[in-house]
Amino acid sequence: MQILSVTAEIFPLAKTGGLADVAGSLPKALQAHGIHTRSFVPGYPGVVRALSEASAITEFDNLFGERATLLAGRAQGLDLFVLDAPGFYNRQGPLYTDTHGREYADNWKRFAAFSLVGSQIARGLVTNWRPDVIHAHDWHAAMSLLYLKYAGDDSVPRVLTVHNLAFQGQFPAYYFPELGLPAEAYSIDGVEYYGDIGFLKGGLQAADAITVVSPTYAREVMSPAFGMGLEGVMNERHVDVVGIVNGIDLEVWDPSSDPYIEHHYSTRVPLRRLPNRQVLLRQFGLPNTCGPVFASVNRLTWQKGMDLLAATADEIVRNGGTLIVHGQGDEALEAAFMDLMRRYPQNVGVSIGYDERLAHRIHAGADAMLVPSRFEPCGLTQLYALRYGCVPIVSRTGGLSETIIDANDAALHAHVATGIQFTPIDKQGLRLALRRALRLYRLRRVWEGLRRQGMKTDCSWHRSAARYAELYSELLNPDMRLVRSA
């Protein structure tokens, strides 16, 4: 089976968050099911540079006003189609914003162009290659499904995965005439969205199947609190919505061979993990105390509950713990953490920025990983933490509630607990969770049990890749689908 994956990010070539990790690792996992994926990505400088054996498939003289070339090639074990359009993608800084963090004004055009070409690949633009299924990820790629639908071509089933409903690609309606869609596409069944145009909304209407990244999130998005304005569409399409938990790439995240960490370890030799803690504390200029090292590797945003962490960090400090924060995001939150570091130089270390290597080192060195998200479709940080023996402390929402087993009495007794979950998701909830963690950390055997159980957890793509494979097969054999849901 051949899949066309349409994605604006792909690890290790272009990443701002979890979307890249999933788009980069799912193709590898699908191979075991006889599924071959070709990923279509924008030609950011890092992507074009990494391409080997690149060949030009076709040229566009005027793609939304820019010249572009569709390339095919390989990079880092991935089979790629790349839209090389320097006017759109050859820019410095992050993928969607300028170096000052401002969204590019032409993002609507950058990703409409990308999506249009994605739909054309699905329709046979590349000689001798057509996918059996097109699988688009998030708002940047969602319109590829809508372009396909309005081209009147229903021969290729359309899957949309929503990694985070908070990012929707909403733009003023006056761009609609430039999208090259028929007039009827500006409607409730198409791209019209509260009087604007909504790229994700359009994709949701055009998809044959919609996946979100955990079953809990699939239920949550049906409500106004999590649906972010799209709960109506989600409810209307509920029969076609399915939640599939993300897996992680066990080769990229492997403490027994990780090139980014100094001391390798595994469940068989867990004590070898300890020196990584010392390396980490030294790197942040912090003393090596007997209290726990709490960490956070995250976007510094409201979604991730980082304001809650900034407001409760004193609980860690007062109880002899250490806090290490690595991330970037809202300026006010960056300033709040820098301020904490100035106030508590012996207990708080902060690094503002985005650094893959440091992220690995923190997972390998810290005792606990804090993920106090207000909502979290799946979350990957807590899965990496499990694998690295760093006990996750998570809010009870979305995929966090499904991937971490809370250290309650029954779970501890049955030796299945892997971390701490807390609710309500507010300052008091997090404060109490920190106190629980501090208490459990003092019970060394209990804490080691949590760590060990976490490291044994299967976070691989094994089960979830099978779910995607099953979904693709169902779409290609609709009879099978009817039998299943009967």
Ligand X SMILES: Nc1ncnc2c1ncn2[C@@H]1O[C@H](COP(=O)(O)OP(=O)(O)O[C@H]2O[C@H](CO)[C@@H](O)[C@H](O)[C@H]2O)[C@@H](O)[C@H]1O
Q: Tell me the closest approach of the beta carbon of residue 373 to ligand X, in angstroms.
A: 8
If the CB atoms of residues 116 and 391 are measured against ligand X, the closer one turns out to be 391
Site for ligand X (CB under 6 A): which residue of 13, 244, 378, 433? 378
Residue 210 in the binding site for ligand X (CB under 6 A): no
Q: Tell me the closest approach of the beta carbon of residue 122 to ligand X, in angstroms.
A: 22
If the CB atoms of residues 277 and 361 are measured against ligand X, the closer one turns out to be 361
State the binding string over 222-251 for ligand X (x if CB under 6 A, else -).
Answer: ------------------------x-----
Residues 6 or more apart whose Cβ sits within 8 Å of residue 367: 277, 292, 293, 294, 390, 391, 441, 447
Site for ligand X (CB under 6 A): which residue of 3, 6, 19, 35? 19
d(CA 268, CA 204): 46
Q: Which stretch binds ligand X (CB under 6 A): 60-68, 142-150, 378-386, 412-420?
A: 378-386
Site for ligand X in 312-341 (CB under 6 A): 326-328
Site for ligand X (CB under 6 A): which residue of 5, 7, 8, 21? 21
Residue 299 in the binding site for ligand X (CB under 6 A): yes
d(CA 449, CA 451): 5
Q: What angle do CA 68, 72, 78 make, to 5 degrees?
A: 125
Q: Which stretch binds ligand X (CB under 6 A): 187-195, 199-207, 376-384, 461-469?
A: 376-384
The count of other CB atoms within 10 Å of the CB of residue 327 is 22
Site for ligand X in 117-176 (CB under 6 A): 163-164
If the CB atoms of residues 19 and 141 are measured against ligand X, the closer one turns out to be 19
Site for ligand X in 396-435 (CB under 6 A): 399
- 15 labeled part of a ligand binding site: yes
Q: Is residue 224 within 8 Å of residue 231, measured between CB atoms?
A: yes
Q: Is residue 431 within 8 Å of residue 312, measured between CB atoms?
A: yes
d(CA 41, CA 4): 11
Residue 18 in the binding site for ligand X (CB under 6 A): yes
- Per-position DSSP letters for 157-215, written without gaps between them: -EEEEES-TT---EE-GGGGGGGT--GGGSSTTTTEETTEEEHHHHHHHH-SEEEES-H
d(CA 112, CA 99): 22
d(CA 58, CA 179): 21
Sites of contact with ligand X (CB under 6 A): 17-19, 21-22, 163-164, 213, 246, 297-299, 326-328, 354-356, 359, 376-381, 399
